[in-house]
Amino acid sequence: MSGGRLFVIGLGPGDLALLTPEAQAALDHCTDLFGYLPYIERLPERPGTRHHASDNREELDRARAALTLAAEGQMVGVVSGGDPGVFAMASAVFEAIESGPAAWRALEVTVIPGISAMLAAAARVGAPLGHDFAVVSLSDNLKPWPLVLERLGAAASAGFALALYNPISRARPWQLGAALDHLRGILPAETPVVFATAVSRPDERIEIVTLAEAEPLRADMRTLVLIGTAETRRIARGEGRRDWLYAPRKVSA
Ligand code: SAH
């Protein structure tokens, strides 16, 4: 059967004001929406759209179920928080397509970008990612931990600011502490660190500390950690006002 389509949709960091009109239009088109339960729950129920919520660790199964329905002719959406291409469902969908039946390659698949957590978090504190930066997931579910440390060290040594996703979870309690210790061996103690939790959601919390003060306890599963560089500027604004951080446009050798 033909006529089915698959949309891989980025929902942004939480607030529906940060969902793009393109993403909203795709959601409105879909007969079936697949996603991790908390993301699916955020979407208003609509008559004519079936919601298929699943657990976080079932990404490949979820992608296959969505592709199967799309191949049967349905309009199917797979949703991710933030951007679907950043540590999210788009990779799982293409993995499934590559290893799946030939018919899946002929399907019309559209990836709809979203505002990723790092962009929403950076905006809250100014412009800490205004120059070169690297993005690393601290999750060692799908890659070895020594590789995480190697990449962090290489990026920090080369002067990249860092955006760290998946900093901590119940199953991964020690990784963030180990990562911060590793970075303390490379970067100055005063390097600014931002813990941005649940950005754009009602319980948003933003903290700016120094690398010396940075403790894993400040983070949970909904936290994006930004690490500045030796060049990051901090503008103090006085009592009751959050400081600004920014990456200067000009970097010396
Ligand atoms: N595709 C998503 C990232 C999924 S990985 C994106 O582009 O944003 C999940 C991680 O994203 C979380 O552990 C956290 O580090 C980060 N994250 C997602 N939403 C967030 C939010 N609203 N505030 C802060 N961090 C968030």
Residue 45's beta-bridge partner residues? Answer: none
Residues 121 and 82: their CA atoms lie apart, in Å, by 11
Question: Looking at residue 30, what is its pLDDT?
Answer: 96
Cα of 221 vs centre of ligand 1, distance in Å, is: 8
* pLDDT single digits (tens) 221-245: 999 999 999 999 999 999 999 999 9
Burial of residue 17 (number of CB atoms within 10 Å: 0-12, 13-18, 19+): exposed
Cα of 224 vs centre of ligand 1, distance in Å, is: 6
240: number of Cβ within 10 Å: 5
Cα of 140 vs centre of ligand 1, distance in Å, is: 16
Question: Looking at residue 46, what is its pLDDT?
Answer: 87
Ligand 1 neighbourhood includes 113 CB (under 6 angstroms): no
The DSSP annotation for 160-203 comes to -EEEEES--BTTB-SHHHHHHHHHHTTS-TT-EEEEEESTTSTT
Residue 193's beta-bridge partner residues? Answer: 209, 227
Ligand 1 neighbourhood includes 12 CB (under 6 angstroms): no
Residues 244 and 125: their CA atoms lie apart, in Å, by 5
Structure token pair of residue 87: 């540590």
Ligand 1 neighbourhood includes 232 CB (under 6 angstroms): no
Look at ligand 1, atom 15, and give the residue with the nearest C-alpha. Answer: 165
Question: Containing H/E element for 205?
Answer: strand 205-210
Residues 11 and 39: their CA atoms lie apart, in Å, by 8
Please list the ranges in the chain whose pLDDT falls under 50: 1
Nearest ligand 1 atom to the CA of 13 is 22
Residue 8's beta-bridge partner residues? Answer: 78, 111
Residues 202 and 205: their CA atoms lie apart, in Å, by 9
Ligand 1 neighbourhood includes 80 CB (under 6 angstroms): yes
Question: Looking at residue 2, what is its pLDDT?
Answer: 57
Residue written as token pair 């931002």: 194
Question: Looking at residue 48, what is its pLDDT?
Answer: 87
Cα of 12 vs centre of ligand 1, distance in Å, is: 9
